Structure 1
Amino acid sequence: MTLTPFTSAAPIIQFHILLALAAIALTIAILMLPKGSGYHRLMGRMWVATMAGIALSSFFIHELRMIGPFSPIHLLSLYVLWNLVSGIRAARAGDIAQHQRTMKTMAFSALLVAGAFTFLPGRVMHSIVLGG
């Protein structure tokens, strides 16, 4: 394991990685907290801001170019932004079951599934963990 790929990556990639790591930590904390508590809501707001930052920062990362400067991963970013709004609306409307489904599905798909793709050869996380 080496941090050289991280320290030599573009600042937007460093920012993106740090936000993703924060989102993972927040996800674990939120799932452990009593639902609806003040801490759950505070951490939830932080998680939403972090996930929005991850999604928005991805539009400035163009390592995989398939459709102009974009790749299919950018569709996931649009999905995340849409679902953040949907999840917040559900919570505010009192539809807690829908809020939970939306946020859990997004955490799984955006953090775990998309996160797994960052370990493919040639990607920064692959280089950090497996040594390039």
Structure 2
Amino acid sequence: MTFEPLFHASPAIQIHALAAILAFLLGGLVLFRRKGDRLHRIGGRAWVALMLVVAVSSFFIHTIRIWGPWSPIHIVSVVTLYSLAQGVWLARRRLITAHQRTMQSTYVGALIVAGTFTFLPGRIMYEVFFEGSSPMTGIAVLATILAGGGAIAWRGMGGRAPRSNDKAATPDQA
């Protein structure tokens, strides 16, 4: 694993990668912990800001060109911007279940699914994790990150068996 490819990348790619990593980590925390309190709202606002940086910065990255300077990942960026606006709008309207689904889907789609494609051969994150002095270290770190992200997303979406002492969730707790 080596960070050299990121150090030599354009500022747009560096900003994009840093914001995506921070959004991945913070989003996992926001999904994992209790919802609706002050810390959730602060974390959610910071996550939305990071995701805005991720989506907007992608429009300055043109390493894959399918339609002129654009690629399918730019469609994901447009959808992400729409989803973020929709998720904030839903939260402000107190439509909590729809807000949760929108934000969880954005986390999974924009960070986990789209982020996985950054690990394809020829991409910078592939070089970071799989080239360099010890590719096995990169494989181990990536496997841990993806497993942790998947577990956080699963847990955040309610993917756990209910315990006998769990109370039924009210709309305020959802």
Give yes or no for TM over 0.5.
yes
How far does residue 6 in structure 1 lie from its aligned partner after superposition?
A: 0.8
Report the equivalent of 2:14.
Answer: 14
Report the equivalent of 2:92.
Answer: 92
Q: Which runs of 5+ in 2 are unaligned?
A: 133-174
Aligned-partner Cα distance in 1 for 2:22–2:50? 7
How far does residue 32 in structure 1 lie from its aligned partner after superposition?
A: 2.6
Report the equivalent of 2:26.
Answer: 26
- Residue type matched to 1:54 in 2? V
How far does residue 106 in structure 1 lie from its aligned partner after superposition?
A: 0.7
Report the equivalent of 1:3.
Answer: 3
Which string of whole-angstrom CA distances, capped at 9 and with x for unpartnered residues, describes residues 30-70 of structure 1? 02321001000000000000001100000000000011100
How far does residue 27 in structure 1 lie from its aligned partner after superposition?
A: 1.1
Report the equivalent of 1:76.
Answer: 76
1:58 aligns to 2:63 (yes or no): no
Range 27-36 or range 17-26, more displaced: 27-36
- Residue type matched to 2:95 in 1? D
Report the equivalent of 1:41.
Answer: 41
Structure 2 length-normalised TM: 0.74
Q: Which runs of 5+ in 1 are unaligned?
A: none
- Residue type matched to 2:120 in 1? L
In our comparison, the structure showing a higher alpha carbon Rg is 2
- Residue type matched to 1:43 in 2? G
Aligned-partner Cα distance in 2 for 1:32–1:39? 12
Q: Which secondary structure state, in structure 2, belongs to the residue aligned with residue 118 of structure 1?
A: helix
Which string of whole-angstrom CA distances, capped at 9 and with x for unpartnered residues, describes residues 7-37 of structure 1? 1111110110000010011112102321001
Percent identity, aligned pairs only? 48
Range 25-34 or range 74-83, more displaced: 25-34
Structure 1 length-normalised TM: 0.98
Aligned-partner Cα distance in 2 for 1:113–1:34? 24
Range 53-62 or range 20-29, more displaced: 20-29
Q: Which secondary structure state, in structure 1, belongs to the residue aligned with residue 122 of structure 2?
A: coil
Q: Which secondary structure state, in structure 1, belongs to the residue aligned with residue 94 of structure 2?
A: coil
How far does residue 3 in structure 1 lie from its aligned partner after superposition?
A: 0.8
Q: Which stretches of structure 1, 4 residues or more, deviate above 6 A after TM superposition?
A: none
Contact 1:33-1:39 at 8 Å conserved across structures: no
